[in-house]
Amino acid sequence: MKAYRCCEVTAGDSKRETIAVPITFARRCRDIAGWMVPSAILVLLPKCPMCLAAYLAFGTGVGLSISTATYVRMLLVVICISSLSFFAAKRLASRYARRSINVLAPLAIGRLDKDKGAVVRDGREVAN
């Protein structure tokens, strides 16, 4: 199980301890539903505004005009695509964050040179 970036704790100069937070069943279901609901809406959304107006009238009893159904359909498409884009960006950002902390963290932490009283990173003094 991989830990999240916020759960990593640095201990000492180069030792790193990872405290893994268990992912609950409810969170997994929520993450899957976040992908499935907008995808299902996009797949099942009718292409013709008259069909959308008929489905809404049949399912809810609310009648819509064709022009309103066109705007509702476009609104549903925009909301679904933006939410899918958000979930994709969130997943890419978390992968990048995990990769960058594993590779760059030892370089970014540096160590304290006790003889000189300065922080040394990559063999160079960084701060006094």
Report the pLDDT value the prediction gives residue 36, as an integer from 0 to 100.
93
pTM beyond cutoff 0.75: no
> 128 and 117 in contact (C-beta within 8 Å)?
yes
Instruction: Count CB-CB contacts under 10 A for residue 37.
Output: 13
Q: Which of these, 85, 126, 92, lies nearest to 107 by C-alpha position?
A: 126
Instruction: Count CB-CB contacts under 10 A for residue 53.
Output: 22
Report the pLDDT value the prediction gives residue 58, as an integer from 0 to 100.
92
> 35 and 84 in contact (C-beta within 8 Å)?
yes
Mean pLDDT by 10 residues, the chain (128 residues): 53 50 82 91 92 92 91 95 92 75 49 51 54
